[in-house]
Chain A
Amino acid sequence: EIVMTQSPATLSVSPGERATLSCRASQSVSNNLGWYQQKPGQAPRLLIYGASTRATGVPARFSGSGSGTEFTLTISSLQSEDFGLYYCQQYSNWPFTFGPGTKVDIK
């Protein structure tokens, strides 16, 4: 099983600042990597798939990069609605696995 790790566990950011979230896979997943945002009491929302392709309706301030084992989600200028939990997920190898999440909160 491919183990996904995310860092940091918590990221405190002021509105308007840049946020950089990291995701690492225990073995290569090529570009079969997605990023999700989840707010309390809500279902996850797909932000990025294919490591760098924004899902429909996702603002341009969200960008993804990386391939193989190292991936990054960048939020260029954090807005108030961006606070929440962020998960990465690999869908390269079964069983498909999620990382433990990074919580982005207000500094």
Chain B
Amino acid sequence: QVQLVESGGGLVKPGGSLRLSCAASGFTFRDYYMSWTRQAAGKGLEWVSYISGTSSDTNYADSVKGRFTISRDNAKNSLYLQMNSLRAEDTAVYYCARDHSVGGPGDWGQGTLVTVSS
């Protein structure tokens, strides 16, 4: 079955960087668009970024554009989110997902918590 396991979250100071990883298994990773969605504590869902199977197509929410970079390694069945210039408002649980359609998260990981605080 589809398994997605995020890692790399933690506490970071404002202006700092963090790299999230998502290990995928149970499906042909290179065949799927993948995405990141985040959720601040007690808040709703915010789509962050997606990437195509070949990495040729990527997109970002305005709130993270220029600061976050999505990437993938199909040989390692892994998805990444490099987060730079982090702000307090980036504090959230970050979920990776296998998309059922472009921009539509289907199967989700359990999430990893990112806390940006001094």
- Secondary structure dominating the interface of B: strand
Which residues in chain B, 71-118, are within 8 Å of chain A measured between CB atoms? 95, 100-111
B104 touches A49 (CB 8 A): yes
On whether the beta carbons of B104 and A96 are closer than 8 Å, the reply is: yes
Q: What is the total number of residues of chain A having a CB less than 8 Å from a CB of chain B?
A: 22
> Among the listed B44, B46, B101, B109, which residue makes an inter-chain contact with A91, where contact means beta carbons less than 8 Å apart?
B101
The answer to whether A100 and B104 touch (CB under 8 A), given A43-B110, A43-B111, A94-B59, is no
A55 within 8 A of partner (CB): yes
Chain B residues lying within 8 Å of A43, measured Cβ to Cβ, are 95, 108-111
Asked if A87 is an interface residue, CB under 8 A from chain B, the answer is yes
Give complex CA distance A45, B105 in Å.
9
Report the count of interface residues on B (CB-CB < 8 A): 21
Q: A99 to B47, alpha carbons, bound, how many Å? A: 11
Given A45-B108, A55-B106; A98-B44 close (CB under 8 Å): yes
Residues of B within 8 A of A74 (CB): none
Given contacts A44-B108, A87-B45, A95-B59, 6 further A-B contacts (CB under 8 A): A32-B101, A36-B105, A43-B110, A95-B47, A98-B46, A100-B44
Residues of B within 8 A of A (CB): 37, 44-47, 59, 61-62, 95, 100-111
